Amino acid sequence: MKRIALLGSTGSIGVNVLEVVRQFPERYSIVSLAAGRNLSRLKDQVIEFAPERISVIDEQHAQQLREILPREYNDRITFGCQGNQEVASISDADFTVSAIVGAAGLLPTLAAIRAGKQIGLANKETLVMAGKLVMGEATKAGVPLLPIDSEHSAIFQSLEAGRREDVAKIILTASGGPFRGRSKDELKTVTREQALNHPNWDMGQKISIDSATLMNKGLEVIEARWLFDMAVENIDVVVHPQSVVHSLVEYQDGSVMAQLGIPDMRIPIAYALSYPERLPLKLQPLSLSLCSNLEFHEPDYDCFPALKLAFDAIHAGGVAPAVLNAANEVAVAAFLAEKISFLEISRAVAETMERVQDGSEDSLDDILAADGAARREAEKHIKSLP
C-alpha cells in the first residue's frame, strides 16, 4: 500500500490523483491533503479519504473548514505555508504529490524531499524557481522526482529507450493554446473567457492562461533543464495542435522516441504513482486511425514572447527564472481580474526581469527575496499602466 500526501487536492491535478486512488484502493491510500480556498470540494475529499492532516490557505479558511467538518477533524486542520509543509512531510506518507500551483509549492516540496519522501512532481514552479538547489537536495536525500506533467512524463518514458549519454535533444510539444495562428493585432482584444478556453486540456485558470501565452511551455523548458540535467541548448519546443504526441527524445543516431496518448492527465499521474509498473486505467485508448493529421510547427516567438522570456531567464541564470515566474503569477492574476490586457502579461514580465536581477541560485533566501521583489515590481508596473 502506497501512502500519499497530496498537495493541491482541489485543483485539476489533485482531483485526477484522487480519481486514480479511487480506482485502485488496494494499492493507494491518502494520508494528508492540502488545498487552497475550495472548502466545499475539500470537505467532500476529507469525508471520503479521512486524512490525518489537512491544510488550507490561511487561518480564516481553517476556521471555516472546522465549522463544516465533523469535530473529529478539528485537531487535524492546519494552514498556510507551515501547514502545507506538515502535509507534505507527514511521517505516515511515503509518496508526496506536489500539485500546488505556483511558487507556493516550493517550500512544501523541499520539506517532503528533506523528509525522504518520493516525489510526484506536478508543480513545475519548484524547479523553475530553484532547480539547482532542489535537485541537489533530492540527490543528497536519495529521493526520486517522478514527473507528472504530461510533457515531462513523456520525456521520462522516452528516455527509457536508450542511454542518457546518447541523448541529442529533448523536444517539448505545445498545443499552441486557443490563439495559435492569431496575429498580434488579433491578440490585442482577446478576452479572459477566450483565453481560458483551451482546445484540448481541462486545466485550472492559471495554467490555462499560461498555455494561451505559451509561458507554460517556457516554464516547462526550465523544469526539463533541471529534471533531466539537459543543457538548454539541447531543448526544443514544437507546436503540435492535436496534443497526441506529448513530447519526444532524439538520440544521437537519429532515432526519435515519442510518447503518444489521449490528452488525459490520469495517464502521467498513474505512471508516476505506479512506476515502474503501469496500471490498467479504464480510459478510451488512442485510435491511430484518427491520427492521420498530426502537425508540428515552429513556435511564433513574436506573437508569443513569453516563451522567449523563459529561454532568456534560463540563459541568464541566477534568480532570473524565479523573477520570471513571480512576475508572471502577478500578471496572470491581473489579467484574470481584467485589470490588464492579454499582451500586457508578457510586457509586465519583461519589465520586471529588467529591474530585478540580484541573487544567487544557490541560496534559498536569495530566491525567495527575488520572488518577493519581483511581485512588488510587477504590481508597481501594472498599477502604472493607463
Question: Residue ranges per domain, the chain?
Answer: 2-123, 152-384
Residues 6+ apart with CB under 8 A from 375: 326, 327, 329, 330
Is 261 within 8 Å of 319 (Cβ atoms)?
Answer: no
Cα–Cα dist 327/229, whole Å: 25
Q: What is the pTM of this model?
A: 0.94
Residue pLDDT, tens place only, 268-291: 999 999 999 999 999 999 998 888
Topology (CATH level 3) of domain 2-123: Rossmann fold (3.40.50)
Cα–Cα dist 123/380, whole Å: 27
Neighbours of 238 (CB within 10 A): 18
C-alpha cell, 87: 502535509
Residue pLDDT, tens place only, 54-99: 999 999 999 999 999 999 999 999 999 999 999 999 999 999 999 9
User: In one letter, which amino acid is 122?
Assistant: A
Domain at 152-384: CATH code = 1.10.1740.10
Q: Would you say how long the chain is, in residues?
A: 386
User: In one letter, which amino acid is 152?
Assistant: H
Cα–Cα dist 316/338, whole Å: 31
How many Å is the maximal CA-CA distance in the chain? 63
Cα–Cα dist 332/318, whole Å: 23
According to DSSP, the residues that pair with 41 across neighbouring strands are none
What pLDDT score was predicted for residue 369? 97
Cα–Cα dist 121/228, whole Å: 13
C-alpha cell, 243: 496534443
What pLDDT score was predicted for residue 317? 95
Q: Output the tens digit of pLDDT for each of the chain's 386 residues.
A: 999 999 999 999 999 999 999 999 999 999 999 999 999 999 999 999 999 999 999 999 999 999 999 999 999 999 999 999 999 999 999 999 999 988 999 999 999 999 999 999 999 999 999 999 999 999 999 999 999 999 999 999 999 999 999 999 999 999 998 999 899 999 999 999 999 987 766 677 998 999 999 999 999 999 999 999 999 999 999 999 999 999 999 999 999 999 999 999 999 999 999 999 999 999 999 998 888 889 999 999 999 999 999 999 999 999 999 999 999 999 999 999 999 999 999 999 999 999 999 999 999 999 999 999 999 999 999 999 88
